[in-house]
């Protein structure tokens, strides 16, 4: 059975204190791994897609990396506005499947001034 596990569940950072979030996955065939940001009461906001091991993507203070078993989301010098829940999702090959996303439980990040 496919699984997506995120750690830690929650992370409290001081402004400027860099850290990394982990997403480990087991799927039969990975089509893509996605990172989303979710603010309370809102829909997931797309951040990155990673397709193959070794790939890296960057956006402002965020950098996502992918290996064959896990992905990391690095937050460099975070600011309070980076506070959110970060969701990881995988899209796998399932015959004719048209790309349902399977989400992890998320990491809730709080950045304090």
Partner 1 sequence: EPEVTQTPSHQVTQMGQEVILRCVPISNHLYFYWYRQILGQKVEFLVSFYNNEISEKSEIFDDQFSVERPDGSNFTLKIRSTKLEDSAMYFCASSEAQGWTYEQYFGPGTRLTVT
Tokens of residue 13, six digits: 């950072």
Among 12, 15, 42, 60, binds partner 1 (CB under 8 A): 42
Q: Is residue 96 involved in binding partner 1 (CB under 8 A)?
A: yes
Do 71 and 87 form a contact (C-beta atoms < 8 A)? no
Q: Is residue 106 involved in binding partner 1 (CB under 8 A)?
A: yes
Q: Is residue 25 involved in binding partner 1 (CB under 8 A)?
A: no
Q: Is residue 108 involved in binding partner 1 (CB under 8 A)?
A: no
DSSP conformation class of 82:
G
Contact partners, residue 112, CB within 8 Å, separation at least 6? 12, 13, 14, 15, 80
- Applying CB under 8 A, the residues found at the interface with partner 1 are 31-32, 34, 36, 41-46, 49, 51, 87, 89, 91, 96-106
């Amino acid at each position: 059975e496919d699984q997506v596990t995120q750690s830690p569940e929650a992370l409290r950072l001081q402004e400027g204190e860099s850290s990394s979030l982990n997403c480990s996955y087991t799927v039969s065939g990975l089509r893509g791994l996605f990172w989303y940001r979710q603010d309370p009461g809102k829909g997931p906001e797309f951040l990155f897609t990673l397709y193959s091991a070794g790939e890296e993507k960057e956006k402002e203070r965020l950098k996502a990396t992918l290996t064959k078993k896990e992905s990391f989301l690095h937050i460099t010098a975070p600011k309070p506005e980076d506070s959110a829940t970060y969701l990881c999702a995988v899209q796998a090959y399932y015959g004719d499947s048209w790309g349902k996303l399977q989400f992890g439980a998320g990491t809730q990040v709080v950045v304090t001034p």
